Structure 1
Amino acid sequence: MEHLTDLATNPTTWAALATLIVMEIVLGIDNLIFISILTNKLPEARRRMARRVGISLALVLRLALLGTVAIIVTLTAPVITVLGHGFSWRDLILLAGGLFLVWKATKEISHTVNPNPDKKDDGVLTIGFTAAIVQILLLDLVFSIDSIITAVGMTDNFAVMVIAVVVAVTVMMVAATPLADFIHANPTIVMLALGFLLMIGMMLIADAFGAHVPKGYMYAAMAFSALVEALNMMARRARRRRATRST
């Protein structure tokens, strides 16, 4: 490990820190979308608290995993072989997380498009606070392991990794409520976000089976979809303004 003073004197270390912060923030988008959708199912008074608890747990998990970085690195070694393909602990964790995301996104999409929801499922309160935190914690674990392995692959400076994780999680904390409120206020964005979760889940499953797809492709697709939806929202507002002026 490089000495902490390198952070103030070595330009290479600063470059690694900046790159890693950006990478960690981008990787945190997946987690943030999931937290936003899940906490919007809670009573309004408890949503902000659930987001803070969920994101705080993400920070604790990532810092704890950084403390066991030597063990985390070994998670990429194959532990079982199925049909000639070796699976590491990281692969198995990504597979479980991907399957969970696919199941959760599919369930939420079904609930959203169902024209005759159950009476007990009517409204936004469909999960309890504890259930929401448990689900957030499970996905925090998946995304945290992927995040730490990415960090280890980019630098061996422990201080840089800690600072990057803290900055990224702080950005998540600041952005969580505005993002969740925006998703809640725009029903079409909910479906788009659920589609993102479904895509993220499939990417995790593919990665677990060794079919690594550069995440830049996924984020480019997400950005393009978001741009199209933004244009649709502008078009709807324009139609409403014209309708208002004509009446």
Structure 2
Amino acid sequence: MEILSNPNAWVALLTLTFLEIILGIDNIVFLSIVSGKLKEEDQPKARRIGLLLAMAFRIILLFGITWVMSLKDSFFDFDWSFVSGGISGQSLIVFGGGLFLLYKSVSEIHHKLEGEEEATAGKASNSLASAVIQIALLNIVFSFDSILTAVGLVSAAPAPAGFGPAGALEIMIAAIVISIVIMLIFAGPVSKFVNEHPTIQILGLSFLILIGVMLLAEGSHLASIKFFGETEVHSIPKGYLYFAIFFSLFVEFLNLRMKKNARKPVQLHNSKIADSKLTDDDLMN
């Protein structure tokens, strides 16, 4: 009750909630792309599972924040002629997540543009399980990066009067729950919009490539990688990345608005929603 009556706590809650929603955009994009290849009745289930997993991973990591912060300690140092650094648990998780995100994004672009169908009869029964596994793997990385960012923000800010570390933990958990509830509400419409517009799909996958590169730079920075003993790898500020994402989406929304009554856009492969809208006349043309 003391926390609820503290105006500083409400400001912190709103700030962290907004931060979690912004950091969850990449999660929503990945969920939309992965769930878009499932049967239409399985798509809401995959999105719910994905977002609930994201919430669970974030809360678990918050309760194990001491363990998370201990992963910054290097367990393997190297100093070769052209590169040096120290590999830590944090750098390994973030760097590995960046590699996986790059691989998955490029693979999805290839399948959609080159026309390779994945929804075969042999894979149909395991498609939901496969999607959940992919979502879970990426959620671990996204949750790890989100918690590190949130903890860094809280640590950098002066402690508000009236609540200590325990109160800060409760506020971060509340922010995570609120942000996930908001994303659950809007996940369906966002996924439908993404899967109905091919350019948005490709833009979303391009954003995931950018985020993958950001994670690679972040992992290298956490490992204090230096080339030739002088040039250190720096992390990419998230503000630049998300500005590019929002600006690109704004331009594309303008394009969609202007071309609303123009000819039908090209249909990408492996999109259940897009495929279901093809009529016999479309196929004849």
Shorter-chain TM band = 0.7 to 0.9
Aligned to 2:143: 144
What secondary structure sits across from 2:205 in the alignment?
helix
CA deviations over 1:201-229 (Å, ceiling 9, x no partner)? 11111111112111110111001111111
Greater mean alpha carbon deviation, residues 95-104 or residues 77-86? 77-86
Q: How does 1:28-107 map to 2 (within 5 A)?
A: 28-82=24-78, 83-107=83-107
1:130 Cα deviation from its structure 2 partner:
0.5
Q: Contact 2:57–2:139 (CA<8 Å) still a contact in 1?
A: yes
1:137-188: CA deviations, max 9, x gaps? 0011111111222222233411111101111111121121111100111111
CA gap 1:118/1:142 in 2 versus in 1, 3 angstroms: closer
Larger Rg belongs to: 2
Deviations 1:39-74 (CA, angstroms, capped at 9, x unpaired): 111111100011111111111111111121111121
Please, which of 220, 223, 239 is the counterpart of residue 246 of structure 2?
223
Partner residue of 1:26?
22
1:193 shift after superposition: 0.6
Taking a change above 3 Å as real, the CA distance of residues 205 and 221 of structure 1, as seen in their structure-2 partners, is same
Q: Which residue of 2 aligns with 1:164?
A: 175
Please tell me the root mean square deviation across aligned C-alpha atoms, in Å: 2.2
Output the TM-score relative to the length of structure 2.
Answer: 0.77
- Aligned position for 1:213: 236
209-218 vs 70-79, which moves further: 70-79
Shift of 1:102: 0.4
Alignment counterpart, residue 179 of structure 1, candidates 190, 198, 201: 190
Evaluate the alpha carbon distance shift between residue 231 and residue 23 of structure 1 in structure 2; reply closer, same or farther with a 3 A threshold: same
Inter-partner Cα distance in structure 2 for 1:121 and 1:227:
36
SS at 1:81 equivalent: strand
Q: Hey, what does 1:194 align to over in structure 2?
A: 205
Counterpart AA for 2:6: N
Q: Secondary structure at the match of 1:33?
A: helix
CA contact (8 A) 2:93 2:141 kept: yes
Asked if the contact 1:52–1:173 (Cα under 8 Å) also holds between the matched residues in 2, the reply is: yes
Q: Is the 8 A contact 2:37 2:119 kept in 1?
A: no
Structure 2 Cα separation of the partners of residues 6 and 138 of structure 1: 38
What letter matches 1:73 in structure 2?
Answer: M
Counterparts of 1:45 and 1:143 in 2: how far apart (Å)?
26
| SS of structure 1 residue aligned to 2:93 | helix
Q: Could you tell me whether the CA contact under 8 Å between 1:41 and 1:127 is conserved in 2? A: no
CA offset at residue 127 of structure 1?
6.7
Shift of 1:126: 11
Paired with 1:142 and 1:92, the residues of 2 have a C-alpha distance of 10
Secondary structure at the aligned position of 1:136 is classed as helix
Q: Secondary structure at the residue paired with 1:79?
A: strand
Structure 2: segments with no counterpart, 5+ residues: 155-164, 222-233, 264-285
SS in 2 for 1:149: helix
Contact 1:17 1:164 in 2 (8 A): yes
Work out the CA distance in 1 between the residues paired with 2:248 and 2:177.
29
TM-score using structure 1 length: 0.88
